[in-house]
């Protein structure tokens, strides 16, 4: 049977901790549990700010700067946690990459890059902590997937495919590890208002974080109905971790609705996908730039 809850001052690893859910979760776990954390991201400056915030909340923190797609970075994260804290209780695979755009505008190299970050880095990190989990007799894994890992949308096929793979891996591991006291939490957020969209070159006009700042009906809908804040997402994750056991969390009202329709009547989702014009679903900045240039030259 899985051990519920989180131990005081537990040791853990969080990737993608410079912004968004990763940063929010690191700070929250430090405040609530005095967590001892190894955090990772590519930006040394932003990661240092998270480290300082974690320590200000009473946690301990070591920053490992580097691209999570690099196996040496993943190795260093786990080695640091083991050497500095004597164990690993929690692994949060949060770092993610999106290359927005239509399939015809992407290359196979784009796909490989996205899968390396969104799937293989997560898989390898699990393999790296698994011996310690088995040795100590428990552990918790949080895989941050997406609603796009449950429902594939035109215009985000590459990202969706990588997140479908992560969702399948995570749920399958939850079943396999059920008798080993290793919990696997599969988190499928919809729109969470973070810096993710800007960092991954989503056009401003389709960036939910920016839309939520608008003082109009569209902004109100995004804030109150279509998306959730980072703080809301973090609290849902912590609640599931404290509860214990393996779970799948689908976040945001539209995300839950889309996931349920996909399960009950997938033809409806397919029909909607076919009806939406391709230029409307291409959220890449390149697409917006092309439209502006076309408009200007017309």
Confidence (pLDDT) at 4: 65
20-41 pLDDT, tens per residue? 999 999 999 999 999 999 999 9
Could you give the CA distance from residue 79 to residue 86 in angstroms, rounded to a whole number? 10
What is the domain count for the chain?
Answer: 1
In a domain, 3, yes or no: no
Helix axes 121-136, 157-176, angle to 10 degrees: 20
Confidence (pLDDT) at 106: 93
Instruction: Show the CA angle centred on residue 112, arms to residues 117 and 187, nearest 5°.
Output: 35
CA atoms within 13 A on the CB side of 190: 18
Q: Which residue has the higher pLDDT, 140 or 102?
A: 140
Residue 285, Cβ neighbours under 10 Å: how many? 18
In a domain, 253, yes or no: yes
The β-bridge relationship of strands 227-229 and 36-41 is unpaired
Confidence (pLDDT) at 192: 85
Domain span at residue 111 reads 11-291
pLDDT band for position 221 (cuts 50, 70, 90): confident
Nearest Cα neighbor of 25 from 87, 95, 92, 82 is 92
In a domain, 1, yes or no: no
In a domain, 61, yes or no: yes
Q: Yes or no: say if 52 and 227 are a contact pair by the CB < 8 Å rule.
A: no
In a domain, 2, yes or no: no
In a domain, 261, yes or no: yes
Which tokens sit at 284? Answer: 């890449």
The CATH number linked to 149 is 3.40.50.720
Q: Yes or no: say if 244 and 4 are a contact pair by the CB < 8 Å rule.
A: yes
Q: Is 273 a residue whose pLDDT tops 70?
A: yes
In a domain, 195, yes or no: yes
Which tokens sit at 34? Answer: 């005095």
Confidence (pLDDT) at 1: 40
Confidence (pLDDT) at 207: 79
| Catalytic residue ranges | 159
In a domain, 111, yes or no: yes
């Amino acid at each position: 049977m899985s051990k519920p809850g989180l131990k005081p001052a537990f040791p853990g690893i969080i990737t993608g901790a410079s912004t968004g859910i990763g940063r929010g979760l690191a700070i929250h776990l430090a405040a609530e549990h005095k967590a001892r954390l190894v955090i990772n991201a590519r930006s040394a400056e932003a990661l240092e700010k998270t480290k300082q915030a974690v320590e200000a909340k009473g946690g301990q923190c070591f920053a490992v700067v580097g691209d999570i797609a690099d196996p040496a970075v993943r190795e260093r994260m786990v080695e640091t946690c083991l050497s500095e804290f004597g164990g690993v209780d929690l692994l949060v695979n949060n770092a993610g990459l999106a290359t927005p755009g239509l399939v015809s505008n992407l290359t196979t190299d784009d796909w490989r890059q996205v899968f390396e970050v969104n799937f293989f880095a997560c898989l390898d990190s699990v393999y790296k902590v698994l011996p310690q989990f088995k040795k100590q007799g428990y552990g918790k894994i949080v895989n941050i997937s997406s609603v796009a890992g449950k429902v594939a949308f035109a215009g985000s096929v590459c990202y969706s495919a990588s997140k479908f793979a992560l969702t399948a891996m995570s749920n399958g591991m939850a079943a396999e590890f059920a008798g080993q006291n290793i919990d696997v939490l599969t988190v499928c957020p919809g729109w969470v208002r973070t810096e993710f969209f800007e960092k991954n070159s989503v056009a401003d006009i389709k960036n939910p974080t920016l839309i939520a700042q608008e003082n109009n009906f569209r902004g109100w809908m995004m804030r109150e109905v279509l998306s959730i804040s980072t703080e809301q997402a973090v609290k849902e994750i912590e609640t599931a971790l404290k509860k214990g056991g393996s779970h799948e969390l689908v976040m945001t009202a539209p995300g839950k609705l889309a996931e349920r329709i996909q399960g009950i009547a997938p033809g409806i989702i397919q029909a909607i996908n076919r009806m939406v014009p391709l230029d409307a679903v291409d959220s890449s900045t390149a697409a917006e730039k092309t439209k502006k240039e076309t408009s200007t030259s017309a």
